[in-house]
Structure 1
């Protein structure tokens, strides 16, 4: 078992070294992305998520409603995160052959509308059921 682990360590280290060697010529264009992502997260995304969580915690006292809204926010954030490369592609860049050209902003908008429409329907039905049981 020890020999297998050592072999996997050597192969993994060699693959990491080879990947680093291939990255060296493109380091000037890759470095801003490698540094910019964590900085953008720590400066913009994390405080924004914390602020939204604080506001939601104060405004929404019903746990079920809060859970559905948090789920919608997470689905929206995930969709936006996945869509960023497709929305931010420079117009002069050739299209990626693996990604067929289509109207990505419209697709993102429709996806977000569907997510929030489902959440609104669930919350309206839950409120109606809650009122019906309270009136009895």
Structure 2
């Protein structure tokens, strides 16, 4: 087992060294991205997510609702992160037939609308079912 682990370590270290060697010529242009991503996350994204979580925890007391709203927020942020490169600026390369002819802002809006429509429908159904169960329990003699 040690020989397999050692072999995997050596192969992984060699692949990492080769990747670093390939990255070396582009280091000046890549370094801001390698450093900027974690810094941006720690300075901006993590505090905003924490603040949103605290706010959600205080405003929504029902655990089921809070879980579904958190899932909707996670799906929304994922859609936004995927859409940012497409919305940020037009592509600089020649157009690839079939790819850039889409209306990305409309697609993002439709995607977000579908996510939140599903969340609202699930919460309405869950609330209705919960009220029905509660009403049946209180109707018993």
TM-score normalized by structure 2?
0.81
Max radius of gyration: which structure?
Answer: 2
Counting only pairs closer than 5 Å after superposition, residues 57-136 of structure 1 correspond to structure 2 as 57-88=57-88, 90-91=89-90, 93-94=92-93, 100-101=99-100, 102-135=102-135, 136=139
| SS, match of residue 93 in structure 1 | coil
Whole-Å Cα distance in 1 between the matches of residues 87 and 39 of structure 2?
21
Whole-Å Cα distance in 2 between the matches of residues 73 and 112 of structure 1?
10
Distance verdict in 2 for CA 1:23–1:96, change over 3 Å: farther
Distance verdict in 2 for CA 1:119–1:38, change over 3 Å: same
Distance verdict in 2 for CA 1:120–1:93, change over 3 Å: same
Q: How many residues align?
A: 134
- Using the TM superposition, give the Cα deviation of residue 3 of structure 1 relative to its aligned residue in structure 2, in angstroms: 3.1
Q: What is the RMSD of the two structures over their aligned residues, measured on CA atoms? A: 2.2
Give unpaired runs (5+ residues) of structure 2: none
Distance verdict in 2 for CA 1:63–1:41, change over 3 Å: same
Please tell me whether residue 34 in structure 1 is matched to residue 34 in structure 2. yes
Give unpaired runs (5+ residues) of structure 1: none
Whole-Å Cα distance in 2 between the matches of residues 95 and 131 of structure 1?
57
